[in-house]
Amino acid sequence: MRSEFLPFSPPSLTEAEVAEVVDTLRSAWITTGPKVRRFEQEMAAYLGAPGALALSSCTAALHLALVLEGIGPGDEVITSTLTFTSTAAVVEHVGARPVLVDVEPDTLCLDPALVEAAVTPRTRAVIAVHYGGHPADLDPLRATCRRHGLVLVEDAAHALPTRYRGQLVGSTDNPVCFSFYATKNLTTAEGGLLTGPPAYIERAQVAGLHGMDKDAWKRNAQGGSWRYDVVMPGFKYNLTDIQAALGLVQLKRLDAMQARRREVAATYTAQLAPLEAFDLPVERPGCESAWHLYPLRLRAGLDRDRFIEEMRARNIGTSVHFIPVHTFTYYREKYGYRAGDFPVALAESERLVTIPLNPTLTDADVADVVEAVTGIARAAGGGR
């Protein structure tokens, strides 16, 4: 058994990130400024995105995407019930109704057929969640949105870098929202990104910084003017140069970090596939997962709480992604959702456990995880 605890998902940081942050702290600018602009440009170039805006979180990006589309009271937005709560919360924030639908049993992403069936005259948008790093099935979702005149927003909090039919998520003209939270594949500690066409990003920049027509860098840099106008009641969603400093180095390291994630995921799959105790994550043909998560689905005979306790006793951290949104008190009481309304999401969520997957894992760490998972499964009668 391990002598030290293995955290579920620590950030992968090097002296290069430290040096870049120190350089920012020693500069004349620590809030939104030149490094944020550079980070936005480099992220757009990496993704092949038409434009990019760095923000304080993925939640902020999702909220702005709905605000810019003018979605509000009386409107409906379709999204997955198997997601983090913020995906549905931003719909509430604009006064619209989140219409939850079930997921596909293999990828746990939004089921396109159920999205089509959920469209009403009040539907204005669909938020597709790329669960665990695997892309949602975008082609039928795009077809539904075109057919009904809806905007497709992508919750890509797990999806950097994810490919769908050879195309990176974030390279299209529709709004795509990324997360740079501490556990994500690229981190700025806290932070997010919204991608879209240049004119759209310009509007988002105004809405994301108090509705001002000039940001602080333009006003306070050499040659700038103190004058500004407020064209809407905007929000405080800007990223700082301190955070962007992390992001700039992380982006340079992203491909190497992803290579390690893929190695770890491949090892897990090879070592755990023979066990009868689990269903493992999939990667459909034509898709390339970002492998943000490696979710195990426990089969009959394994109790999830006991499994998590046994992993903790072996000094290995785990997590659960996610508790379905429709089971939370707020959504049950407001919309009358019942636990069984979305049977796939409910059944799968009740047997999900996410094991460590990050680029800091050594071969010895991976071996320890495999040994722990295998030992627990065999003790429960679900071994080879």
Mean pLDDT of the chain: 96
Which whole-number Å values give the CA distances from 282 to 165, 205, 276, 285, 287, in the listed order?
16, 37, 16, 10, 10
What's the CATH number of domain 15-250, 3.30.540.10, 3.40.228.10, 3.40.640.10, 3.40.605.10? 3.40.640.10
pLDDT of residue 23 exceeding 60? yes
- Determine the Cα–Cα distance for residues 321 and 84; give it in Å rounded to an integer: 8
Average pLDDT estimate for 20-44: 97
Question: Which among 65, 63, 62, 43 is positioned nearest to 52, based on CA atoms?
Answer: 43
Average pLDDT estimate for 341-349: 98
Specify the pLDDT at position 29.
93
What is the DSSP code string of 223-243?
T--S---B-S---B-B--HHH
Tell me: the pLDDT tens digits for 34-83?
A: 999 999 999 999 999 999 999 999 999 999 999 999 999 999 999 999 99
Supply the pTM of this predicted model.
Answer: 0.96
Specify the pLDDT at position 1.
80
Q: Which position has the token pair 């995105």? A: 49
Tell me: the pLDDT tens digits for 290-337?
A: 999 999 999 988 999 999 999 999 999 999 999 999 999 999 999 999
CA distance between the termini of the chain: 21
Catalytic residue among 35, 184, 214, 218: 184
Is the backbone of residue 133 left (phi > 0), alpha (psi -120 to 50) or beta?
Answer: left
- Determine the Cα–Cα distance for residues 128 and 186; give it in Å rounded to an integer: 21
Specify the pLDDT at position 384.
60
Q: Where in the chain is the domain with CATH 3.40.640.10?
A: 15-250
Q: Per DSSP, which regions of the chain are E strands?
A: 52-55, 76-80, 97-101, 123-129, 151-156, 163-164, 167-168, 176-179, 192-195, 278-279, 287-288, 294-298, 352-355
35 in catalytic set? no
CATH number of 254-379: 3.90.1150.10
Specify the pLDDT at position 222.
61
Tell me: the pLDDT tens digits for 134-150?
A: 999 999 999 999 999 99
- Determine the Cα–Cα distance for residues 302 and 313; give it in Å rounded to an integer: 16
Tell me: the pLDDT tens digits for 240-293?
A: 999 999 999 999 999 999 999 999 999 999 999 999 999 999 999 999 999 999
Tell me: the pLDDT tens digits for 205-239?
A: 999 999 998 765 565 566 667 788 999 999 999 99
Q: Where in the chain is the domain with CATH 3.90.1150.10?
A: 254-379
